[in-house]
Structure 1
Amino acid sequence: MSPFSTHHLDRRSFLSLAALGAGAATLAACGGPSTGSGAATAQADLDFSGVKPASTITFWSNHPGKSEEVEKSIIAKFHAAQSDIRVNMVTAGANYEEVAQKFQTAQQGGELPNVVIFSDAWWFRYFLNGSIIPLDGVFEQLNVSTSDYRKQLLADYQYAGKQWAVPYARSTPLFYYNKNHFKAAGLPDRAPKTWQEFAQWAPRIKAANPGIQNVYQHPALADYAGWTLQNQLWGEGAAWSDKFSLTANSDKTVKAMQMVQDTVYKDKWAGVSSKDASADLSAGAVSATMSSTGSLVGVLKAATFDVGVGFLPGGSVNATNVCPTGGAGLGIPKNNTKEQQLAAATFLKFLTSPESTAAFSAATGYMPVRESADMSAVLAKTPQIRTALDQLAVTRQQDYARVFLPGADQEMAKAAGKILTQQGDVTAALGDLQKTLQGIYDTDVKPRLNA
């Protein structure tokens, strides 16, 4: 009997899923409706009794949060702990999408990895294509209990009572700010409770720090704009959608996005990063921004000033539960030998162990994925990580429109670009987005849904 239960999915984005032909089949997630696709039922647990682990395996990573060195360190510790399995780490891309493209190509006849990293947006495509195995059987063989994994994160990779991956580099956005700039403005040493409060603070920060580029820097549009903008929408009682009822151009959404645009053009205290908002903050060019917890350690190392972190601000309607989760997990490809799969699971167990995840968190700022991870030394050195852990309890499931419509995140970024970098009419831009999203739903999604 499987020890896993079915929970909602909370995936980061679909990005280039549509280009790879995943189509609407990605909707068969446990947080959404079922589909008529038979792909999901074609998978089966694998029996690993009597299997001897392979002696060499490969691990594909993009080293999220500049984690290559800590990944090498964990692999070295794995080698020191046992002598039967050697791990070769491969830099398979600069980001999750490049790893996904390479993995997709390998399915057609290339050399597959034995452990592969993928964002929350990609694992379900692999599941539907029959490219990965459920971990239940191999974990049972290795006596791995998943009860110690953080439930909010583990559930993102569950479907039909099976576990298809485990969390690895997981994050939420945080509110980062320059403590010196806030102090100069006579403000409290904390993140604003709401965006309305921050709008009141902004002129004081700007006046007290005349050399800065912007008080607040919106994240780069290419850096998952549809993901982070959910914060501002949810705070105003808006959303990209209500289940599959699309609300990208609702009155509430238009009002919320007009407020965001006003920070740039009307009130003139915010801008949009061209590449990396956290780097803009670290350089002292801006006083505050929103960025992933995976940027935390890098920001603290790069900044020459005291960096403050806090929960994402709420809005006039919802002051809390306005934060999404994101990040990556680890899975095992199906088209490998059982010997390789068992060896891969042995390494995966070590890579996400309490000790390893604590080390990974300390080096990057990503959240430890195990409840029992001893974070005392990490928190003593980097107490800001506590904020990320505490915020996890008040996260919210992402909007269907963003995570269940193929390519929707790209369309949201385009609309955000019109609004925030071209000063386009908010109502018109969101009206166009609504039509585009409705077209995706009507053409690629609705026909696949079961009655």
Structure 2
Amino acid sequence: MKHIVLGLAVLAGLALAQQRPEDVIKGQCEKAEVVAELWHGFTGGAPKTALENLVIEFNKTQGGQVCVRPISQGNYRDLSTKIKAAFTSGKVPAMAQAFENNMALYLESDALVPMSAIGVDLKGVNPLFVNAVTFNKQAYGVPFNKSVQLLYYNRDLLKKHGAKVPLTITEFITTARRISQEEKAPVYFFQPDSSTFSYWFFTLGGSYFQNGSLVLNSPKAVEALELLTQGVRSGWARPITSGFINQNFGAGPFGFSTDTSAGYTFYLQAAKFDLGVATLPGRTDKQPGFSLVQGTNLVVFKRADEREKKVAADFLKFAISPRAQAVFGVAANYVPVNAGSGVEPIVTRYIKENPAFGVAITQARYARFEPALSNWEQIRFDILGQAIREAVLGQATPKAALDKAQKAAEDLLAGRTR
């Protein structure tokens, strides 16, 4: 954990070591003429602390005249619910975290400020991330905390069975099946949700859109879900239906998982084996598989006070700078969104000590986003997520589950259901 402590110390300053970040921010904002609220979905741990220390460093540059105040609104779903309620009350914050589908929803209410209107330039930011926040040729937010899926594996188990880290899906399945047979237990741990599904779906060549329409039951989608269900039936894949994957270490021999890079420190803490990290197996050994990009962006609301918008703009410029993204990424294990962060000393030193961080930066070049639809949150959790779970648990065939999901999504998008 020393790398996290180091990263936060650099960001917040050693003098703050004995103070809680929220207390420091409270003091910074008490006499400020302008306070710009930043609503977020970090409930604790390294991400929340890293954000608060990022804010502290920004506020220190403002001479006490203005400040940013981060306010947790619970988890991400709680956050989006409270923002929608704020639209009704008229009391919106200056800034908030938002997924791409949240942005699409807020844009339906014409609630967001385009970045060009407040002088925020996204030059240097990963173009893949910038494209995801661009609607009608305008960027309506800045990419902020981003993570990608990686292949976590048990070096000790692979060594025991004379196996290599798989580079392709075929190698992955063959290796997982063989080790599972020899261990007499499944070794690929996965959560039966849309995140896990997306890796297999994207890597097999799937796309959620066909001719401009959302399609959840395409042949590639069925193929991806059948692969997971067959893995369970044939005994090489173990669905984790309670808690995080790392919390289930010990439930059987862990060999592999395809999980978010943001969970690396939690894996490291839980593993009683030599933990390895690699890019995702691809269709061929020529390039990695495609990861799902997760994490949020920061947006600015039109209804905010004009002075608050100015503070927000200055903070966004600071937050996506190479230096800030380097330290924030190291502190919370997020992929820095600014390409310039890769040459920052704190990142190069961190990669030497923690090669997994370098793997995540490489994997970020091979990634895909879920649809930026205003209804996607409900679709991914309550419709597609439910279909994946039903199929994996043997309650429906992959085709039947996805056909049901397609009908439910079409009804939702057409306004026939809510």
The bucket for the TM-score relative to the shorter chain is 0.7 to 0.9
Aligned-residue Cα RMSD (Å) equals 3.0
1:48-447 correspondence runs (5 A) = 55-63=34-42, 66-83=46-63, 84-94=65-75, 96-109=76-89, 111-139=91-119, 144-188=120-164, 190=165, 192-206=166-180, 214-219=186-191, 221=192, 225-244=193-212, 248-281=216-249, 286-315=254-283, 320=288, 322-373=290-341, 374=344, 375-396=347-368, 398=370, 407-409=378-380, 410-440=382-412, 443-444=414-415
Cα displacement (A) at 1:100: 0.7
Gaps of 5+ in 2: 1-31
Cα displacement (A) at 1:347: 1.8
CA distance in 1, matches of 2:220, 2:312: 48
Give the SS at the match of 2:292.
coil
CA distance in 2, matches of 1:254, 1:158: 30
Cα displacement (A) at 1:216: 1.1
* Structure with the largest fraction of helix: 2
Give the SS at the match of 1:291.
strand
User: Residue 89 of structure 1 aligns to which amino acid in structure 2?
Assistant: P
CA distance in 1, matches of 2:54, 2:377: 35
Please say if residues 230 and 240 of structure 1, whose CA atoms lie closer than 8 Å, have aligned partners that are also in contact: no
CA distance in 2, matches of 1:282, 1:267: 17
CA distance in 2, matches of 1:275, 1:298: 12
Please say if residues 180 and 235 of structure 2, whose CA atoms lie closer than 8 Å, have aligned partners that are also in contact: no
Please say if residues 272 and 421 of structure 1, whose CA atoms lie closer than 8 Å, have aligned partners that are also in contact: no
Give the SS at the match of 1:264.
helix
Please say if residues 235 and 318 of structure 1, whose CA atoms lie closer than 8 Å, have aligned partners that are also in contact: no
Give the SS at the match of 1:286.
coil
User: Residue 181 of structure 1 aligns to which amino acid in structure 2?
Assistant: L
Please say if residues 170 and 366 of structure 1, whose CA atoms lie closer than 8 Å, have aligned partners that are also in contact: yes
Cα displacement (A) at 1:416: 0.8
Give the SS at the match of 1:67.
helix
User: Residue 59 of structure 1 aligns to which amino acid in structure 2?
Assistant: L
Q: Which whole-Å deviations, capped at 9, do the CAs of 1:187-213 have from their partners, x for residues lacking one? A: 12x3x2233212221244336656xx7
Q: TM-score, length-normalised on structure 1?
A: 0.75
User: Residue 122 of structure 2 aligns to which amino acid in structure 1?
Assistant: T
Please say if residues 284 and 303 of structure 1, whose CA atoms lie closer than 8 Å, have aligned partners that are also in contact: no
CA distance in 2, matches of 1:424, 1:268: 20
Percent of pairs with identical residues: 22
CA distance in 2, matches of 1:130, 1:287: 48
Q: Which whole-Å deviations, capped at 9, do the CAs of 1:301-360 have from their partners, x for residues lacking one? A: 443433212222234899755333232000111112111110121122222222221111
| Pair 1:284–1:294, CA change in 2 (3 A) | farther
How many residues align? The count is: 378
Please say if residues 283 and 289 of structure 2, whose CA atoms lie closer than 8 Å, have aligned partners that are also in contact: no
Please say if residues 120 and 327 of structure 1, whose CA atoms lie closer than 8 Å, have aligned partners that are also in contact: no
Of 247-256 and 116-125, deviating more is: 247-256
CA distance in 2, matches of 1:317, 1:236: 14
Gaps of 5+ in 1: 1-52, 446-451
